[in-house]
Amino acid sequence: MSPTKPSTIARVARAATATAMAVFATFAAAHAEMIEPAPIVAPALTLAAAPPALPSATPAVAAAPRPVMPSALPQAGTPNPDPQAACSAPTEFSHFDRPLIRTARRLAGGKPLTIVAVGSSSTAGAGASSPDASYPSRLAVELKQRFPLEDITVLNRGVNGDETHNMLARFETGVIAEHPQLVLWQVGTNSVLRDHPLAPHSAQLHEGIEELKTTGADVVLIDPQYAPKVLAKAEAPGMVEQIAAAAKEENVDLFQRFAVMRNWFEVQHLPFDTFVSPDGLHMNDWGYACVAKLLAAGISEAATRPIASAATHAR
């Protein structure tokens, strides 16, 4: 063996050793990358499993995926209209003190019944989504349900903006010419809105009632609506009292719309937008429908009382 062979062998051995160590280091590093994440996962799982330990300002992240049902939401300061609100009011507000004798005779005799609804915009149907949603249209539906075998016609003679003297001018052609057995006269609102004094209106009111009574028809007065724009007027309570007094003095009936709607708001706690349109004056579909339902109940009861049952022939 030559003197240089040992040194050559040594160099080869050292190179092999270095190569082996490099391979081992590479393997160890690769192995460490595979197992290193394990210590990171554990703390995350621990935090998720123990939400009470988190700061109070952060749980919203964890709560977000949970669905929130409408009933769990906080109530708004101003209630929204409730389309499912029950239509009701104390019976005394829709009950008629006097029987509807002419109406009763027509129904008892099986003869056609003609009803004329005369008034201003809240008779015409302002605020309703369609003419079919006005109170006269809804009244026809309600009466048909109560008297399915009878021929009942409800004519809408409401004109937007009309005051009492305008209605008087229309009585002959728009009301009397139809030969009605029942007249529903909605009156007083526009006089209040335009700040007219009450005294002159009283004379017009009595004049109109007398003219309607000469036809032999039953007469029912309907007072103003309980709505923000009406309530803003100082004469509103006085008008309601004037109409009630006139009904009593003239021996005709009264549907107390003002009291009915006030009950909805003050007693039943229905917000105005449940029964009043966005203009703050006219009723909406729900309001008209409920008034018609209560009015139909009053008409039905007053036209079927025993006092009127003996006379079965219309005049």
User: Using H for helix, E for strand and C for coil, what is the string for 5-38?
Assistant: HHHHHHHHHHHHHHHHHHHHHHHHHHHHHHHCCH
State residue 307's pLDDT score.
Answer: 60
**Higher confidence at residue 9 or residue 205?**
205
How many CB atoms are closer than 10 A to CB 106? Answer: 25
Q: Select the more confidently predicted residue: 251 or 51.
A: 251
260 versus 64: the higher-pLDDT residue is 260
- Residue showing tokens 């708001």: 265
pLDDT at position 68: 29
pLDDT tens per residue across span 36-84: 333 333 333 333 333 333 333 333 333 333 332 323 222 333 344 555 6
pLDDT of 121 higher than 90: yes
- With beta carbons less than 8 A apart as the criterion, state whether 284 and 275 touch: yes
Contact 222, 187 (CB under 8 A): yes
Edge-to-edge strands of the sheet including 253-255? 152-158, 113-119, 182-186, 218-222, 253-255
Mean per-residue pLDDT of the chain: 80
pLDDT attached to residue 95: 96
pLDDT at 83: 58
Residue 9 has pLDDT above 90, yes or no: no
Mean pLDDT of 156-179: 98
- The whole-number pLDDT of residue 36 equals 36
pLDDT given at position 306 = 86
pLDDT of residue 103: 98
* Per-residue pLDDT tens digits for 183-212: 999 999 999 999 999 999 999 999 999 999
- Give the per-residue pLDDT at 82: 59
- Sorting pLDDT into bands at 50, 70 and 90, what band is 179? very high
